[in-house]
C-alpha cells in the first residue's frame, strides 16, 4: 500500500515541517552530547596541564611494594621519582635535582633535543631552567653546582659536575610556580622514592587506590589522588546523566512539537481518513498507514540530523583550532578532539523513534474511536461548549473586534497554543542555559588565572623574601624600564613583621590552629603567633607595591578606598584571607569576594606593627621568638581598605596565613631606603613578534643571573594555552547556543505560520464579510505577541532551575562564587522572542494581502 507516500508527496509543506522537527531534534541532541562531553574534557585538561595527568601517587613504599604494584598490566604509565639533592647555582639560584625515569620526566614534557639520562651525572632540563642557572641550553654542556641532601645544612654541601644530554619542553607547573628542576636517571634507589601511576581508561581509580591501600596497609598520607583526572571521570559520568536528563526533557518538548505539526497535517486531511473508514479500511490498516508515513520521515531524518549535528560540532571545533597551542602528555603532543558519546546519541535517536510510535498510537486511536461520518464532518477534536459560551460572552464585551478574535484564538485553541509556547520557551531556555554555561566558564578561567597570578607576561622573582635588603636591585628595574616594548611594570618588596595582637579583634581560631599544625616541621617556626616577652603578636609581611601594582590591586577591594598615586603616610591596605564559612578552617580554592574574614578587621581600624630595626629577619631566632636582644621599631597605621586578592604573587609561606599589610613604595622608603624587590612583573607589547619576546626573555634571565638569588621566566605560553582552552569552551557554548537559536527560530516560525495557515478559510470569510485587511493584521499581530509574552513568562520561570542546575554541576561554588541568574540574557531573550513574533506576523499578513478569498476558502492545504 503506497497511499502514505502519496500523502508525503502531496502535502509537501506538512512533510517538510515534520521532517524539520525531527531533524532539529536529532541535531540538537547530537550537538548537546558532543559539546557537553568535550567541554568537561577541556575542564579536566586545564587542571592536568598545570597539576599533572597521573591517577595516583604513592610514597614511602618498600622496593618490593613498588615492584609488585608496577607489574599491574592495567597500567599505561609507571613513574618513579626521588628528590635527590637541593642545589645552589653560582649566583645563589636555588633548584632541585630529581632522580626520575623517563615516564615521570615526560608526563607533561617531551624531548626536544638529545636523549634521557643513563648515568648519574647526566641530566635533562628545560631551557628556561638552564638559562636561569647560567648554563648554556646546549647538548654536552658541563656545569658544576653545589648540592646537598634534603634537610642538610650548608656545611654539608658538595660540588657536583653534570652534563646536559637532553633538552625538554617547558613544564607548565615549573614555569607557573618558578620551580627550577633538573632531572637525572633514577638509579634503583627506592628509599624515599615516589611511585606515580596512570591506569587504562575505564578503571575505577578510587577503587584501585583503596585496594592498594588495604593490601599494603598504607597510611592516608602515603596515597594521593590526582583529582583533575579522578573527578573528571566522576563528573563525566554525571555529565552523561545530566545530558540524558536534558535530552529527555528536550525529547519530551520535541515530541509535543512533532505531534503538533502532525496534528496540523491531520486536520488538513481528516475527512480523507473518514472516507477510508467508510470504504472499509480496518483499524490496524489505518494505524499502519500513519506509522508508515511517520516512520519513513523518521528514518530519513536520522542521517540528516546526525550529519547536521556533527557538521555543527566539527565547525565549532575548527573555529577553536590554534596551531600555537601545544599540550604534551608523556612525550606526545595531545590534540584536543571532539568526544562523541555514541551510546548516548544512539539512545536518544531511539527515543525519537519511540516518540514517533507514541504519536502513531495516539493519532490512530483518535481516528479509530470516531465514526466515519464524524471524521468526514471534521469532528476529530473535542469541543468544549461551556468554554465556548463563556468566551463568547467575554468577547462580546470588547469594543475592538480584532481583540476579541485574537483572544478567541489564544484561549480557545489551547493545544495549538501549548505547541507554540513550548516551541518558544524550549528554544529560549536552552539559549539561556548555554549562555549561562559560557558565563560560568569565563568566571572559572578568570579565577584560575588569578589563582596562578597570571597578571603579566614575565615574572622576575627572588627565591625567598625573608630578608628585605636582598633581591632584585634598582639597577635591574632601571634596565627593564628602558627596554623596548615594555607597557607596564608592577613591583613588590616584602618585610617580615610582627603585628601586635591585643585580642580585641575576633579571629577564626580553627583556621589559625590548622595553619599552626601544618607549619610544624616544614617551616622554621612552630606557630604564626606568639609572645616575645614584650608583646603578643602574629607574624605576617609588610609589602610595598609601586603605583602600577596599587592601581591593579584597587580592582579587588571589599571595603574602604585609597588613592594609588598618593597613599597617606599612616594608611595601609589589608589583604584578607577568607574561609568557606565562619569558624571554618577551610580556605576556598581561589580568591573569592564571598566568604568569611579570618580576622574581623574593618576599614578605619588601627593596626600596630613592629619590625627589627636592623632588618635582619632571616635568622632562626627571629622565627623562634628568641631574639630578645634585638631592637624593634613600632609603627601605627589606619586600615584604608581591605582587598580579597593580593594581586602580587606571594613568594614564600610568611604571608600565607594572616592578613598581609600593603603600603606604597614611598611609605616603605622611609623604613628601608635601599630598594631590593622581591617580585617584578611586566607586560610587554606582544605584537612586536616572537623574536622580540625571546630577546626580552634572554635579557631578563641575564639580569637575574647577574643579580643573584632570583629567577626570570615568561608565562606568555602558559597564559595563551589556558586562554585557548577557555576559548574552545566559549565557542562550544556560544556556537551551540547560536545553533539552538537558529533551529528554534525555524521551528517557531513554522508553528506560528501554521497557526495562521490552518485558519486561512476563516480569515478569508472575515474578509468576505467586510473586515478590513489592516484589522486582520492587527488581530494576527496581537495573537502572536500574546503568545510571545506567555512564552517569556514560562522561560523566565524555567531559567531559574536550569541555571541553578548548571551552577551546581559546575562545582564553581567550591571557589566561593555565589549563584546569580543572568538577568541581562533574560532581557535579551525576551526582546528577541517579541521581535520573532512581530517579524513572523508581518511575513504572514503580507502573504494574505494578495491572496484570493475564493481560493483560500476552497484550499486543501
What burial class does residue 224 get, using C-beta atoms within 10 Å of its C-beta: 0-12 exposed, 13-18 middle, 19+ buried?
middle
Q: Which ranges in 52-95 belong to alpha helices (H)? A: 63-70
Lowest mean pLDDT among 119-133, 397-411, 756-770: 397-411
For the stretch 711-752, pLDDT in tens is 899 988 888 878 877 777 777 777 767 766 776 676 677 666
Q: Convert 224-278 into a string of H (helix), E (strand) and C (coil).
A: EECHHHHHHHHHHHHHHHHHHHHHHHHHHHHHHHHHHHHHHHHHHCHHHHHHHHH
Lowest mean pLDDT among 33-47, 74-88, 627-641, 828-842: 33-47
Tell me the DSSP string of 788-820.
Answer: HHHHHHHHHHHHHHHHHHHHHHTTGGGGTPPP-
CB 570 within 8 A of CB 552: no
Please name which of 548, 575, 543, 546 lies closest in space to residue 559, comparing C-alpha atoms. 575
Q: Which residues contact 31 (CB under 8 A, 6 or more apart)?
A: 309, 312, 313, 736, 739
Number of neighbours of residue 62 by Cβ within 10 angstroms: 11
For the stretch 762-796, pLDDT in tens is 666 666 666 676 777 787 788 888 888 888 999 89
**Residue 763, all three cell numbers:** 480569515
Residue 858 DSSP label: T
Residue 710 has pLDDT above 70, yes or no: yes
**Residue 307, all three cell numbers:** 550529519
* CA angle at 649 for the pair 454 and 663, rounded to the nearest 5°: 125
β-strands 660-664, 536-545 pairing: parallel
Cα–Cα distance measured from residue 42 to residue 30, given in angstroms and rounded to the nearest whole number: 18
For the stretch 826-857, pLDDT in tens is 898 889 888 888 887 887 777 666 555 555 54
What are the residues facing 687 on neighbouring strands? none
Cα–Cα separations (whole angstroms), residue 507 to 260, 512, 643? 63, 8, 17
pTM of the entire predicted model: 0.73
Cα–Cα distance measured from residue 580 to residue 62, given in angstroms and rounded to the nearest whole number: 39
- pLDDT band at 820; cut points 50, 70, 90: confident
CB 304 within 8 A of CB 24: no
**Average confidence score pLDDT of the chain:** 81
What are the residues facing 543 on neighbouring strands? 494, 662
**Residue 356, all three cell numbers:** 514517533
Lowest mean pLDDT among 7-21, 209-223, 426-440, 751-765: 751-765
Q: What is the pLDDT of residue 615?
A: 92
What burial class does residue 72 get, using C-beta atoms within 10 Å of its C-beta: 0-12 exposed, 13-18 middle, 19+ buried?
middle
Q: Which residues contact 162 (CB under 8 A, 6 or more apart)?
A: 121, 122, 123, 142, 143, 144, 145, 182, 184
Please name which of 679, 641, 681, 677 lies closest in space to residue 660, comparing C-alpha atoms. 641
Cα–Cα distance measured from residue 113 to residue 131, given in angstroms and rounded to the nearest whole number: 16
β-strands 158-168, 142-148 pairing: antiparallel
b (16+ CB within 10 A) / e for 792-823? bebbbebbeebbeebbebbebeebbbeeebbe
β-strands 158-168, 111-114 pairing: antiparallel
CB 567 within 8 A of CB 546: no
Sign of the Cα pseudo-torsion (533, 536, 541, 543, in order) = negative
Amino acid at each position: 500500500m503506497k497511499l502514505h507516500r502519496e500523502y508525503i508527496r502531496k502535502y509537501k509543506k506538512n512533510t517538510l515541517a515534520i521532517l524539520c522537527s525531527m531533524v532539529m531534534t536529532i541535531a540538537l541532541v547530537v550537538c548537546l552530547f558532543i559539546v557537553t562531553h568535550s567541554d568537561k574534557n577541556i575542564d579536566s585538561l586545564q587542571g592536568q596541564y598545570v597539576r599533572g595527568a597521573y591517577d595516583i601517587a604513592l610514597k614511602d613504599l618498600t622496593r618490593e611494594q613498588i615492584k609488585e604494584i608496577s607489574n599491574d598490566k592495567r597500567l599505561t604509565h609507571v613513574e618513579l621519582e626521588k628528590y635527590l639533592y637541593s642545589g645552589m647555582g653560582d649566583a645563589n639560584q636555588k633548584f632541585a635535582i630529581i632522580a626520575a625515569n623517563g615516564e615521570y620526566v615526560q608526563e607533561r614534557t617531551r624531548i626536544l633535543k638529545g636523549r634521557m639520562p643513563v648515568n648519574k651525572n647526566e641530566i635533562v632540563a628545560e631551557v628556561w631552567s638552564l638559562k636561569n642557572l647560567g648554563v648554556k641550553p646546549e647538548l654536552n654542556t658541563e656545569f658544576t653546582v653545589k648540592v646537598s641532601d634534603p634537610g642538610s645544612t650548608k656545611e654539608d654541601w658538595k660540588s657536583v659536575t653534570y652534563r646536559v644530554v637532553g633538552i625538554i619542553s617547558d613544564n607548565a607547573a615549573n614555569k607557573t610556580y618558578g620551580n627550577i628542576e633538573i632531572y637525572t636517571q633514577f638509579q634503583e634507589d627506592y628509599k624515599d622514592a615516589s611511585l606515580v601511576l596512570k591506569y587504562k581508561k575505564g578503571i575505577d581509580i578510587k577503587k584501585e587506590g583503596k585496594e592498594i591501600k588495604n593490601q599494603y596497609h598504607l597510611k592516608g598520607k602515603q596515597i594521593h589522588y590526582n583529582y583533575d583526572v579522578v573527578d573528571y571521570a566522576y563528573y563525566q559520568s554525571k555529565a552523561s546523566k545530566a545530558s540524558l536528563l536534558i535530552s529527555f526533557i528536550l525529547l519530551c518538548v520535541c515530541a509535543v512539537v512533532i505531534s503538533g505539526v502532525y496534528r496540523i497535517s491531520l486536520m488538513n486531511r481528516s475527512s480523507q481518513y473518514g472516507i477510508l473508514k467508510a470504504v472499509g479500511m480496518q483499524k490496524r490498516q489505518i494505524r499502519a498507514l500513519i506509522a508508515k508515513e511517520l516512520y519513513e520521515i523518521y528514518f530519513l531524518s536520522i542521517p540528516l540530523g546526525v550529519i547536521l549535528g556533527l557538521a555543527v560540532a566539527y565547525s565549532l571545533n575548527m573555529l577553536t583550532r590554534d596551531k600555537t597551542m601545544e599540550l604534551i602528555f608523556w612525550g606526545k603532543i595531545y590534540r584536543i578532539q571532539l568526544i562523541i558519546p555514541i551510546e548516548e546519541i544512539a539512545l536518544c535517536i531511539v527515543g525519537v523513534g519511540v516518540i514517533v510510535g507514541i504519536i502513531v498510537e495516539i493519532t490512530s486511536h483518535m481516528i479509530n474511536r470516531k465514526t466515519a461520518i464524524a471524521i468526514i464532518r471534521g469532528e476529530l477534536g473535542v469541543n468544549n461548549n461551556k468554554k465556548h459560551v463563556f468566551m463568547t460572552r467575554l468577547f462580546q464585551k470588547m469594543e475592538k473586534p480584532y481583540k476579541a478574535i485574537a483572544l478567541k484564538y489564544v484561549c480557545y485553541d489551547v493545544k495549538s497554543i501549548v505547541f507554540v509556547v513550548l516551541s518558544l520557551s524550549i528554544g529560549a531556555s536552552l539559549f539561556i542555559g548555554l549562555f549561562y554555561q559560557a558565563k560560568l566558564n569565563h568566571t572559572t578561567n578568570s579565577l584560575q588565572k588569578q589563582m596562578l597570578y597570571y597578571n603579566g607576561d614575565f615574572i622576575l622573582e627572588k627565591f625567598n623574601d625573608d630578608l628585605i635588603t636582598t633581591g632584585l636591585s634598582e639597577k635591574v628595574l632601571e634596565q627593564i624600564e628602558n627596554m623596548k616594548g615594555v607597557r607596564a611594570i608592577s613591583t613588590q618588596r616584602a618585610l617580615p613583621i610582627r603585628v601586635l595582637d591585643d585580642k580585641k579583634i575576633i579571629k577564626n581560631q580553627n583556621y589559625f590552629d590548622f595553619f599552626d599544625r601544618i607549619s610544624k616541621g616544614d617551616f622554621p617556626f612552630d606557630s604564626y603567633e606568639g609572645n616575645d616577652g614584650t608583646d603578643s603578636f602574629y607574624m605576617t609581611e609588610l609589602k610595598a607595591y609601586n603605583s602600577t601594582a596599587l592601581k591593579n590591586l584597587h580592582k579587588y577591594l571589599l571595603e574602604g578606598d585609597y588613592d594609588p598615586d598618593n597613599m597617606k603616610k599612616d594608611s595601609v591596605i589589608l589583604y584578607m584571607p577568607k574561609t568557606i564559612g565562619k569558624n571554618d578552617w577551610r580556605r576556598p580554592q581561589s580568591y573569592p569576594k564571598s566568604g568569611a574574614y579570618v580576622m574581623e578587621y574593618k576599614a578605619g581600624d588601627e593596626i600596630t606593627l613592629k619590625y627589627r630595626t636592623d632588618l635582619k629577619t632571616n635568622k632562626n631566632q627571629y622565627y623562634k621568638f628568641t631574639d630578645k636582644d634585638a631592637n624593634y621599631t613600632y609603627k601605627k597605621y589606619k586600615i584604608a581598605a581591605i582587598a580579597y586578592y593580593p594581586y602580587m604573587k606571594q613568594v614564600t609561606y610568611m604571608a600565607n596565613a594572616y592578613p598581609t599589610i600593603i603600603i606604597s613604595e614611598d611609605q616603605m622608603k622611609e623604613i628601608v631606603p635601599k630598594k631590593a624587590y622581591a617580585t617584578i612583573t611586566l607586560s610587554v607589547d606582544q605584537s612586536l613578534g616572537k623574536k622580540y619576546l625571546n630577546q626580552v626573555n634572554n635579557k631578563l634571565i641575564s639580569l637575574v643571573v647577574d643579580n643573584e638569588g632570583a629567577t626570570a621566566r615568561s608565562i606568555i605560553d602558559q597564559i595563551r594555552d589556558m586562554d585557548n582552552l577557555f576559548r574552545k569552551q566559549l565557542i562550544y557554548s556560544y556556537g551551540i547556543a547560536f545553533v539552538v537559536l537558529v533551529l528554534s527560530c525555524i521551528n517557531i516560525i513554522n508553528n506560528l505560520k501554521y497557526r495562521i495557515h490552518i485558519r486561512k478559510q476563516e480569515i478569508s470569510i472575515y474578509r468576505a464579510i467586510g473586515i478590513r485587511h489592516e484589522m486582520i493584521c492587527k488581530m494576527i499581530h496581537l495573537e502572536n505577541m500574546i503568545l510571545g509574552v506567555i512564552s517569556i513568562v514560562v522561560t523566565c520561570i524555567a531559567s531559574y532551575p536550569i541555571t541553578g542546575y548548571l551552577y551546581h554541576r559546575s562545582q564553581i561554588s567550591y571557589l566561593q562564587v555565589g549563584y546569580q541568574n543572568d538577568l541581562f540574557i533574560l532581557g535579551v531573550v525576551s526582546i528577541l522572542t517579541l521581535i520573532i513574533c512581530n517579524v513572523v506576523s508581518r511575513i504572514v499578513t503580507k502573504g494574505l494581502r494578495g491572496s484570493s478569498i475564493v481560493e483560500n476558502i476552497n484550499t486543501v492545504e
